[in-house]
């Protein structure tokens, strides 16, 4: 089951976003990280 969304809110418990996590399904500007300073984001995540 999938749900179409405009924005994804990522809680501060998430510390790493790996390769192809979103794979062109949503733009980086539409993903809101609660604690962006402490999240490691792979360059291939988006």
For residue 30, pLDDT beyond 80: yes
CB 46 within 8 A of CB 27: yes
Q: Is residue 46 part of a domain?
A: no
Write out the two tokens for 37.
Answer: 């300073």
Neighbours of 34 (CB within 10 A): 12
For residue 38, pLDDT beyond 90: yes
Q: Is residue 1 part of a domain?
A: no
Q: Is residue 2 part of a domain?
A: no
Bridge partner list, 40: 16
For residue 24, pLDDT beyond 80: no
- Count of domains in the chain? 1
Residue 25's domain comprises: 8-41
Q: Tell me the pTM.
A: 0.66
């Amino acid at each position: 089951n999938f749900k179409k969304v405009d924005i994804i809110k990522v809680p501060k418990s998430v510390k790493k976003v790996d390769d192809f996590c979103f794979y062109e399904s949503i733009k980086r500007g539409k993903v809101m990280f609660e604690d962006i300073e402490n999240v490691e984001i792979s360059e291939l995540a988006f």
